[in-house]
Amino acid sequence: MTVYSAVVTTGIYCRPGCGSRPLAENIRLYGHAGAAEADGFRACLRCRPYRVAGPVSADVPRLVCAAWQLIISGVLDGGTEAALAERVGVSSRHLRRLFLKHLGASPDQLARSRRAHFARRLLDDTDLTVLDIAFASGFGSLRQFNRTMREIFHAAPGELRERRHRADRLVADGGLALRLPVLPGYDWPAVRSYLGARAIPGVEEVRDGAYRRTVSLDGAPGVLEVRGGSDPGHLVLTAHLPYWEGLIHVVDQVGRLLGLDTDPASGAAALGADPVLGPLVASRPGLTVPGAWSPLEIVVAGAAGDGLATLVRGLGTAVPGLPGGLTHVFPDAAAFTEADLEALGLPAELAKTAALTAQTDSGLAFRTGDSEAWPASDPSLRAAVAELFPAGVDPERWRPWQALAAMHLITR
């Protein structure tokens, strides 16, 4: 978990490793940048804490994690804390109390901080206009955007752009490039290899050291590419999209897909004592569990089996002219009718199988953030268990980190 240091005598908070050396008695520690900002501190201009990864700790209650994921999906972009609380089944007062206790700020304060930090990264990394950045970051108006940036960074967006360093601006051969902060030790090669081995034909591919995929925004196709950055603290996402409004949510989906929104430190510490897993964890303490672009893709891929490529070609939207093996956008849920499946020579019951799988399959839970999921049907996991545990193993021994244990075995 990223811990931010705020200095009461200067009113500034910093990320770990900043060169400032304040007296210990003047320091307050925060687990989230938004919490420091809620207490009136502003970001350090030297270490720029908005550029580092700051996922919610795995130690917070599940209800808080669920609410945080809804915030990431944009529930508070135009909604209220009361609506968020209703979604997770508690009162707004109780939800606010939980957030203040475990994260140090209210849901609204954290959502505002998150949008502002994303906008600040776009001001540094890209040449998008201030207006485009406002809507790409989830703000409802330019006035709201300007007010929030002044409150959090004590300067207008135009002034903040003028402060960016010469090396900040990313240049892409077409598309929009921006940095994706990662935690120290994040194992990009392992995650990339995992995704490549399970890539949906025509929709995803790993080529030349990069992960690439097609996406759809309101029916219009786009392409995303992720590759390693110039330093281990970030990856680089290059987006080719039909428009930039709501870009923050696209980037969040990429983060979930790559496992960037979880901190594996607690799990690594717990699994490190295991006599078999310990050496695997020690060699890659930053390994995390990849997520999914959407649950639908995981469900259909598991249900379709060898017919997945046929399904994508028959029901997906063709995107001509793309380099490499990308050819289609994955079909949406409405495309999976019995008649359409039968026309492709696929079993009509696949639609029902997919629905059942969505409710019961541990492979789906593994890719959608359940730390206790154990994808027993994964061939690589079965092979690893057979090799390392010839007498068999009960994954309950690793509770509540079964998913992370499985990932270490799958990618050993």
Token pair of 171 as six digits:
């240049």
What letter would DSSP give residue 104? Answer: S
Which H/E stretch holds residue 32?
Answer: none
Determine contact, residues 346/339, Cβ cutoff 8 Å.
no
Token pair of 116 as six digits:
């502002």
Neighbouring residues of 171: CB distance < 8 A, sequence distance ≥ 6: 177
Q: What is the rounded distance in angstroms from the CA atom of residue 215 to the CA atom of residue 218?
A: 10
> Mapping DSSP to helix (H, G, I), strand (E, B) and coil, where does residue 368 land?
coil
Q: What is the rounded distance in angstroms from the CA atom of residue 156 to the CA atom of residue 233?
A: 27
- Among 198, 256, 194, 197, smallest CA distance to 224 is for 256
Q: What is the rounded distance in angstroms from the CA atom of residue 409 to the CA atom of residue 32?
A: 31
Catalytic positions, written as ranges? 14, 378
Determine contact, residues 280/404, Cβ cutoff 8 Å.
no
Determine contact, residues 92/67, Cβ cutoff 8 Å.
no
